[in-house]
Amino acid sequence: MNTAWIYLVVAGILEVVWAVGLKSTFGFTRLWPSVFTLSFMFASFFLLSLALKQLPIGTAYAVWTGIGAAGAALVGMLFLGESRELARIACVLLIVSGVVGLKLLAKPAV
């Protein structure tokens, strides 16, 4: 795995962190949760921008948002009491399979 993909995966994980943290900001009315969330947002966007130096935008953005969407849904199911019904889990697996497919079919950006 080259550096761009490492940046992208870490950026996706940080997206999960800030997405989950966003709920605790209460519309950015609470200082420390807002600072925490904005810091992770910045770091996630920064790493995404580094990955985009080598990866195509369509692939990188889809993988980044896919990691964020699937990760946030899993955190919600595992730690925040959100529904764990089979159809919901199947949808998360569809997102993950799309991300894996994009990774396997990716060609370097020009």
Residue 28 above 90 pLDDT? yes
The pLDDT, as a whole number, for residue 110 is: 60
pTM for the full predicted model: 0.88
Tens of pLDDT along 70-81? 999 999 999 999
Residue 48 above 90 pLDDT? yes
Residue 41 above 70 pLDDT? yes
DSSP secondary structure, 3-68, as one string: HHHHHHHHHHHHHHHHHHHHHHTTTTTSHHHHHHHHHHHHHHHHHHHHHTTTS-HHHHHHHHHHHH
Cα gap 68→54, rounded to integer Å: 20
Residue 84 above 90 pLDDT? yes
